[in-house]
Structures are given as C-alpha cells and as structure tokens.
Structure 1
C-alpha cells in the first residue's frame, strides 16, 4: 500500500506514449482503444493522490511526480490531436507554456530542483482539468465516430487554450514579483539576536 500511489503514477507515465500513438492512427484502426487507455490513465490520476493521503505517503515530491505524469500524458496527446487536425496547435503551445512556468515558479519557491514547491492557482487548476476533459472528449469522439463531437472539440480547444494562457500570464506575473522568504525564515529574521 505504501508504494501504490507511485505505481498508479508510473502506470500513467507508461500509458502516455501508447495514448499518443493510438491518437495518431486512423480512426477506423483506433476504435475504442484510445478511450480505454485514457480511462485507465485518468483513473490513475484520480486515485493516486487519495491513495497517497490514505497511506500517509503524500509528499511534495509525489505531487511533482503526479503533475509531471499529467504533463507526459497530456502534451503528447495534444500534439497527436493537433497533427490530425482535431485541435489547433495553440492548445499544446499554451498548455506546455503554462506548465513550464508552473514548474519554474515552483523551483523558485523551493530553492532547488529537488525541493520544487508547486503552488496551485485557480486558472492553472481549471486548465489542468479542462486539458483532461478535452483529451477525454477526443477519445470518445474517436470511439463512437461522432463528427459532431469532432466539430465541437476544435473551438472548445481554443477556450481551453485561453484558460492555459491565463494561467501562464498569472505565473509570469508572479515570477517577476520579489520572492518571499519562507515563514520560518521570516520569523527568524524578526527574532531578536543574542549577539550582533
């Protein structure tokens, strides 16, 4: 049980190239395989955090691993969907930019690469959820061969890209603000010193 959360996340990482490949093959050949892969991967994302908290193994590194696995799953899927014309290239570009700035800000707050401190934002959290929803909708459209869903996905992808751009701009603004010291460092700075 102690490593179950990490195993869920590893499974998502392993499914990432398979999902991207299945999204690249013709619709007739893919069938419902992309949807099945997506459902398993999304399920691991839903379960891993809850399992880690229940086992008492939730950690900052686990969160970084989880979010990295999300990126490894979604970004190649976005690229495959953009290459087949299902979504505009604006979405992968916006999502990768937002995620990169998210990690850079976390690195800045943590101080080192090994201590990345990811901080959530409303626009970033919404973008993450919508990224998953869009890939899920695309896999459903492939499975049931619904052109109407295909036609809805392309404009919806622009809306999701806009949310990712908003998240990126929010992160960019925070990156140019002065870094705040940790609460412990602030208390230490205010504490009287016994020697000069």
Structure 2
C-alpha cells in the first residue's frame, strides 16, 4: 500500500512538472523557428506567440528581427480583428461615454452598451505591448497586406513559407527526460504488481 502511494505521488509530481514545461516548449518552438532563417515556417496559436514574446532571449531580441516577425505573425493570426481595433472611435451610439477608450493610440474599440467592446478589448493582442510595438502595429494596419522587407527579404503578413519542422526534435530535452521517467515509473509499477502476483501464487 505504501509503495502504491509513493508511486502515485511521484507520478503526480512529474505531471506537475510536465504542464509548465509544455507551455514553455510551445513558445520555445516559435523562437527556434524564427532563429533558423529569420522567418516563421508555420503558424502557431496566439498563446504560443505570447509565450515566445514573453521569453525571448535578450541577445536574440537585440541582434535579430524575431520580435517584429513574431509580432507580425501574431497580428496576422488575429484575423479580422485589426480592422475593428483600428476603428474604435467610430459611431457606437451613446454607449461610448463611460470609458472614452475608443480614441486612444492603441486603437482599442470603446465599450458599447451590450458589452461587445469590453470583450474585444479583452482579446486585444496589444494589451501588454510597448509604445514601439503599438507604433509598429499602427504602421502594419496602415500598410495592409503589402509585403515588407525584413533583413533584405520581402515578408507578406499572414503568409508563412518554408518547410514545416515537426516531430520529437521540437521538444526540449527536460520534457523528453520527464516523459521517459513517467514511462519508467509505469513499467516499474506493472513489474511490482506482477512480482507480487507470482509470489502470492507460490506461497499458496
């Protein structure tokens, strides 16, 4: 009974370590993809982009355009949200007087009477952006889908080229070790159960 309790506790601790490692791995995959050739070869979720921007190493941030590339991909993945965010100051009736946020530089839509403005603001990818990032966003909205040059190469927002890199090699080494330990723990528990069953039959 004590052995089962120890095994269950060990597995629970390993699972608790896997969850944050998976979240960080998704952001690390975006960073590795960008540092390979200066562009993203596939699309990622908004959470992956946010993790990558939050954990972007200082040297990559300083000596590469990865922050701009990831930010543009994040804005492109937001879909049609850019047009609604840019026009937050347009006529929304009498429900815009409470917050007055429709005319700010971030372009966030003002709150309307039915609460749709606050819901759109909650999904605003620029909620934690700096002044430089907001300025770059405004320029991207003004340019529309026109290609831009990054490191001498034309990049079209929303269009990702190159080969897709997937597979076990994208996982970080600590996560692979944890998964291996989980597998070994399961095999050990199964082996102990089999041994007890055999010993019980012999004594019987």
How would you bin the TM-score normalised by the shorter chain? under 0.3
Which has more radius of gyration?
Answer: 2
Q: Which has the higher helix share?
A: 1
- TM-score of the aligned structures, taking structure 2 as reference length: 0.25
Larger RCO (CA within 8 A; separation ≥ 6): 1
- Give TM-score scaled by structure 1 length: 0.26
